[in-house]
Amino acid sequence: KTKAFIFDLDGVIVDTAKYHFLAWQKLANTLGINFTHDDNEQLKGVSRVRSLEIILGLGNVEATEEQKEEWLTQKNEDYLGYINTMDDSEILPGVMKVLNFLKANNQPIILGSASKNARPILEKVNILHLFDDIVDGNDVSNAKPDPEVFLVGAKKANQPNENSIVFEDSVAGIQAANNAGMMSIGIGEASVLHEADIVFNDFNQISEEFLTELINK
Ligand code: G16
Ligand code: MG
């Protein structure tokens, strides 16, 4: 049988959250805003524009649209500087095993990410070729928890939503998968991702038997 397997990028395939954090923190510093690791949690799965609004909100900073554009460009340039240093050693534990198993079983593998930098990141870590389709921040206008990114992904795989399985590390992403009527698999802490259908600490916890069951369901 065939299902659609849809993967989030940041926090699921690679840990780019640490680079987003460094780049946002640099911007926050120049604006005199205190921005901590805890604050960064709120930005996971959230669009770039919305992330800036959250940070400005933390410091009660108001700015013109023009000024915001400038800050967004600056942040992204700094972020790309970090991305440029990435290689396949940054792929998260167990990811390759799962991707290769799904490929060997002829299952569609789709990326469903809020990031506009998804393609260059997949290229840097050498796995762009494993994806049948990419749906990213350049393709959709509604941010997670809106289901748009995953709905487009399932359509690209020619699979109905109920035959689609989403791997997500963020609360907003799990909600997006649930809103799409798809199976949601949380990667991370069960206490945080309690809205997911099932949660694993990482991909090493996902067995081939489990994946086979999903394929044949
Ligand atoms: C990711 C991150 C977010 C980031 C967003 C946009 O989403 O989790 O923190 O703000 O992409 O990224 P960019 O600035 O590269 O367009 P996901 O959906 O891959 O987890
Ligand atoms: Mg994510």
Q: Can you tell me the ipTM of this complex?
A: 0.92
Helix (H) or strand (E) holding 170: none
**Cβ-based neighbours of 97, under 8 Å, separated by 6 or more:** 203, 204
User: Going by CA atoms, what residue is nearest to atom 14 of ligand 1?
Assistant: 48
**196 and 185 in contact (C-beta within 8 Å)?**
yes
Q: Is 75 in the pocket of ligand 1 (CB under 6 A)?
A: no
Q: Is the peptide bond before 145 cis (omega within 30 degrees of 0)?
A: yes
**For atom 15 of ligand 1, which residue has the closest CA?**
115
Instruction: Examine the pLDDT at 98 and tell me if it is beyond 90.
Output: yes
Q: Which amino acid is at 15?
A: D
Q: What is the mean pLDDT of the chain?
A: 97
Residue written as token pair 């206008």: 141
**Ligand 1 atom, smallest distance to 149 CA:** 18
Nearest atom of ligand 1 to the alpha carbon of 12:
20
153 C-beta closer than 6 A to ligand 1? no
Is residue 114 within 6 Å of ligand 1 at its C-beta?
yes
Nearest to 27 by CA among 64, 1, 58, 6: 58
Q: Cα separation of 215 and 217, whole Å?
A: 6
| 8 annotated among ligand-binding-site residues | yes
Testing ligand 1's pocket by substitution, the residue of 22, 43, 113, 123 carrying the most ligand atoms inside 8 A of its CB is 113
Nearest ligand, CA of residue 16?
A: 1
Rounded distance between C-alpha atoms, residue 32 and residue 117, angstroms: 27
Q: Are 5 and 28 in contact (CB under 8 A)?
A: no
- Is 191 labelled as part of a ligand binding site? no
Q: Quick one: pLDDT band at residue 57, thresholds 50, 70, 90?
A: very high
What percent of the chain is predicted at pLDDT more than 90? 97
Q: How far apart are CA 144 and CA 46, in angstroms?
A: 7
Q: Is 48 in the pocket of ligand 1 (CB under 6 A)?
A: yes
User: What global pTM score does this model have?
Assistant: 0.94
Residue 162 has a pLDDT of: 98
Residue of the CA atom closest to atom 11 of ligand 1: 115
For the cut 90, the answer to whether the pLDDT of residue 148 exceeds it is yes
User: d(Cα 184, Cα 167) in Å, to the nearest integer?
Assistant: 6
Q: What is the DSSP string of 73-117?
A: HHHHHHHHHHHTT--GGGBPTTHHHHHHHHHHTT--EEEE-S-TT
Region 159-176: mean pLDDT is: 96
Torsion of CA 26, 44, 97, 93, to 10 degrees: 50
Atom in ligand 1 nearest the alpha carbon of residue 51: 10
Residue 41: pLDDT band with limits 50, 70, 90: confident
